[in-house]
Structure 1
C-alpha cells in the first residue's frame, strides 16, 4: 500500500480519465449494458479529488467518496482503535445489512431516469 497509493495518486494526477488514450480501463459493465454500476465515475471522481475539485468529485460518485472516507475508519476500528465518540457511527457503519441494502439501492437509483436520481449519474 505504501507504493500503490502514491503510484495511483501520481497516475490520477498525470493522466486525465476523460481524455482519449488514457491508461485507465473503461467500465466494462457500462460498456456491455449501457447502465451505470456502483463504481461508474469513480476514476474521474478520484482524478477530480487529486486535483482539489471536491464538488466535481462528489458529483461523479457521491457514495464512492463517502465510502472512501468511511473505509479507513472501519479498518482502524477493526484493528482496535475504538474511541467512544465514534461508537454510534461505527455501530451503523459496521453493520453488514447496511451495505447489503445501500449498495444495490444506490446501483438501481443512479440508473433511474427521473430527477433527483439523475443527479447520481456520473455525467
Structure 2
C-alpha cells in the first residue's frame, strides 16, 4: 500500500513493504550466488563433471557459450584474467547482470519499478556482436578466444 502526501502529491512507499519489494531481487541473488558457489566448487576443467557442449562435440566449433562455466569458475575464484580468457562475452554478461540487479534493488527500495526495454537497434547490435565473436573464435587467427 502506498501513501500519497497531499502537500507534494508525491507517492511514497508504505512502511514495512521494502522487504516485500526486495524479495524477488533477493531471491535472484540467492539463486545466482548458489550457481556460482556450485560452479566454484565443482571444477569444469575436470572431465566428467558437466556435459560437453553438443555443438563443439559434434562439429568442433565453439559456440558463444563455450567456456562460460570455466569463466564462472574463474570469477568465483577471483581470477578475472582467466575468466576473460575462457569467455570474455560471459564475463561481460556477468557484469551487465550485476549492474541491472543493482539498479533493480535501488529502484525497489525507492518503490519504483524496473523497466528494461531494450530498443531493436541495441538487440541487433548485441546479436551482431555475438555472431562476430562466434565467427572470430572459430577462425585460425581467433585462437586467443578459444576457451
Same fold (TM over 0.5): yes
Gap change, CA 1:113 and 1:31, over 3 Å in 2 = same
Task: Compute the displacement of 1:51 (Å).
Answer: 0.7
2:79 is aligned to: 53
2:144 is aligned to: 119
Higher strand share: 2
Task: Compute the displacement of 1:63 (Å).
Answer: 1.3
Task: Compute the displacement of 1:29 (Å).
Answer: 1.1
Task: Compute the displacement of 1:72 (Å).
Answer: 4.3
Q: CA RMSD in A?
A: 2.6
Structure 1: how far apart are the matches of 2:129 and 2:42? 31
Q: Which runs of 5+ in 2 are unaligned?
A: 1-27, 105-112
Gap change, CA 1:14 and 1:72, over 3 Å in 2 = closer
Rg larger in 1 or in 2?
A: 2
| Equivalent pair of 2:40/2:72 in contact (CA under 8 Å) | no
Structure 1: how far apart are the matches of 2:73 and 2:146? 17
Structure 1: how far apart are the matches of 2:97 and 2:33? 18
1:86 is aligned to: none
Q: Secondary structure at the match of 2:140?
A: coil
Task: Compute the displacement of 1:25 (Å).
Answer: 2.0
The yes-or-no answer on 1:68 pairing with 2:94 is yes
After superposition, residues 1-123 of structure 1 pair within 5 angstroms as: 1-22=28-49, 24-74=50-100, 76=103, 79-80=114-115, 95-114=122-141, 117-122=142-147
Task: Compute the displacement of 1:100 (Å).
Answer: 2.3
TM-score, normalisation: structure 2:
0.64
Q: How many residues align?
A: 109
